[in-house]
């Protein structure tokens, strides 16, 4: 079975259990911490993916990282997954859990890339546009700054991408010039 399918199923099971036990927010906090640690620490991901490191060592590392703050459900989940020799899917399961959590809560995550930070008025307008696109009332806006786009913005909502950047317009113009339209003179 592919890693994506496994992660999706594990995430769904964890979400259902957390909802059933009334501890969804606590589990989500732990999942966010795992995602954060994985993004900041490549060695953690390599260790979880390594077939050489045994399951006890993997779980001991997770226990050291999470035991003081983690929810009991999360720790049991980590233990079960590592004991089944599936620690390599923990990070992708966490990412999938975050997606399913957002879907369950009706939260739309949108990513906007600009050359400068947005002021509050523009953020509100972008949030309204995202609400209109997605049909959801809660929007989590992730802002990114990228000077390479020269100006304008790039808005990503789910699988939709609105690229209104100057760099994209220049690229399009360059492609048009590359077509080399010739006018035949008589």
pLDDT tens track for 103-141? 999 999 999 999 999 999 999 999 999 999 888 999 999
pLDDT band at 186 (very low <50, low <70, confident <90, very high): low
148 and 117 Cβ atoms separated by less than 8 Å: no
- State the pLDDT confidence band at 158, using cuts at 50, 70 and 90: confident
What's the whole-model pTM score?
0.80
Task: Give residues with Cβ within 8 angstroms of 148, minimum separation 6.
Answer: 167
Q: Quick check: 183 pLDDT over 70?
A: no
Is residue 76 within a helix (H) or strand (E), and if so which, with residue range?
A: helix 72-83
> Is 70 exceeded by the pLDDT of residue 27?
yes
Average pLDDT over residues 138-165: 93
Which pLDDT score is estimated for 185?
67
- Residue 149 DSSP class: G
Computed over every residue of the chain, the mean pLDDT equals 92
CA distance readout (Å), 178 to 132, 171, 172, 175, 181: 37, 10, 10, 5, 8
Answer positive or negative: Cα dihedral of 166, 171, 173, 174. Answer: positive
Closest CA to 7 of 95, 97, 74, 93: 93
The pLDDT of residue 182: 64
In this prediction, residue 1 carries a pLDDT of 67
144: nearest Cα among 110, 99, 167: 110
Residue 147 to residue 76: CA distance in whole angstroms: 44
């Amino acid at each position: 079975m592919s890693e994506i399918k496994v992660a999706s199923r594990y995430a769904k099971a964890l979400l259902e259990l957390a909802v059933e036990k009334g501890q969804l927010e606590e589990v989500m906090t732990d999942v966010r911490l795992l995602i954060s640690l994985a993004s900041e620490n490549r060695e953690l991901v390599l260790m979880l993916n390594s077939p050489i490191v045994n399951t006890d060592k993997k779980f001991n590392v997770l226990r050291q990282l999470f035991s003081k703050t983690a929810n009991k459900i999360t720790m049991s989940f980590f233990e079960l997954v590592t004991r089944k020799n599936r620690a390599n899917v923990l990070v992708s399961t966490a990412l999938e859990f975050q997606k399913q959590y957002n879907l369950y809560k009706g939260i739309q995550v949108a990513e906007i890339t600009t050359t400068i930070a947005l002021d509050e008025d523009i953020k509100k307008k972008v949030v309204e546009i995202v609400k209109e696109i997605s049909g959801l009332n809660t929007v989590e806006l992730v802002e990114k700054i990228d000077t390479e786009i020269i100006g304008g913005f790039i808005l990503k909502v789910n699988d939709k991408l609105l690229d209104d950047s100057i760099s994209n317009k220049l690229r399009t113009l360059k492609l048009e010039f590359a077509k080399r339209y010739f006018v035949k003179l008589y």
